[in-house]
């Protein structure tokens, strides 16, 4: 089996790496903080001290990192993946970053004879743990087919989108859909709450019609329970929206709804709530309407 390196063992990366380990892949891991590395090492993974060491000991290196500069540093910086790259190595970046940055990393790796796929994911921590993520892939079609068995360990829906950057762009499209769905659920519940409706019944009724969505199913009940613990942090959602809006500006595409949600989420950031889950958006809509939504 191909030797896999995994860099970035956060709320998503750690369960994804664990699934690869359980599938029998030899695994080398690295993370900025040591706790997750030690945890996986206890389960059979090999620890590495830097990205270069991961690349030297792997056939495929996966990164799952917070932002564009993190991927650029890990891939191209001192003791980065590039410094340990060789012909035949494949770097799969599963982070959400600027498409152009992903293309630049791919070009640098190609000069060393290495390949790259951009393969960001959707599905949250539960999907990461269960291996049911949606994975959007850009890069060489041949490299994609070679790496498909690895991706299938981590995801259920795996879609080849096109050349380098196409996967990252598709993920930004996904984030646009998610936040507009999120705003819709918040406004639905605030409207129903202001009208005095039983909001559990509102969620049930909407779930049987065209207004249903995974956001309604997963986040609606959390809003009613006042559970704002993070599945996905407000601060990371804001990062994704900045990338989506920057890409839209580059392409000359207006994203009026996305820009609105970004400004509403900025209210939470300004209040020091960037570490809360994105369902906390309902708190902003509540203040605008002068009411609070909660279960009966």
Task: Please give the positions annotated as active site.
Answer: 171
* b/e burial code for range 223-232 (CB count within 10 A of at least 16 → b): bbeeebebeb
User: How many residues belong to the chain?
Assistant: 296
The phi and psi torsions of 80 (rounded to 5 degrees) equal -90, 180
- The H or E element spanning position 27 is strand 27-30
Q: How far is CA 132 from CA 15, 26, 216, 290, in A?
A: 11, 21, 19, 39
% helix, strand, coil for the chain, step of 5: 55, 15, 30
Q: Which residue has the tokens 């993520």?
A: 133
Is residue 171 within 8 Å of 133, Cβ to Cβ?
A: no
């Amino acid at each position: 089996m191909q030797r896999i390196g995994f860099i970035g063992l956060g709320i998503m990366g750690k369960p994804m790496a664990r699934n690869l380990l359980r599938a029998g892949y030899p695994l080398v891991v690295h993370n900025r903080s040591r706790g997750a590395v030690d945890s996986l090492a206890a389960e059979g993974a090999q620890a590495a001290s830097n990205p270069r060491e991961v690349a030297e000991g792997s056939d495929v290196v996966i990164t799952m990192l917070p932002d564009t500069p993190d991927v650029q540093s890990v891939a191209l910086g001192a003791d980065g993946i590039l410094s340990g790259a060789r012909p035949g190595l494949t770097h799969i970046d599963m982070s959400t970053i600027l498409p152009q940055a992903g293309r630049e990393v791919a070009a640098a790796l190609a000069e060393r004879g290495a390949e790259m796929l951009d393969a960001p994911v959707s599905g949250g921590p539960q999907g990461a743990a269960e291996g049911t993520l949606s994975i959007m892939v850009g890069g060489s079609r041949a490299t994609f087919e070679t790496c498909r068995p690895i991706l299938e360990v981590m995801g259920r829906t795996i879609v080849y989108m096109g050349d380098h950057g196409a996967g990252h762009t598709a993920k930004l499209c996904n984030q646009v859909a998610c936040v507009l769905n999120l705003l819709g659920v918040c406004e639905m519940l605030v409207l129903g709450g202001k009208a005095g409706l039983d909001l559990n019944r509102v969620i049930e009724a909407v779930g049987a019609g065209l207004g249903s969505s995974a956001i309604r199913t997963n986040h609606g009940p959390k809003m009613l329970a006042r559970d704002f613990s993070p599945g996905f942090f407000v601060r990371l959602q804001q990062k994704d929206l900045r990338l989506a809006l920057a890409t839209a500006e580059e392409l000359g595409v207006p994203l009026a709804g996305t820009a609105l949600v970004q400004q509403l989420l900025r209210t939470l950031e300004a209040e020091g709530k960037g570490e809360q889950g994105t369902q906390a958006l309902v708190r902003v809509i509540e203040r605008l309407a002068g009411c609070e939504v909660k279960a009966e």
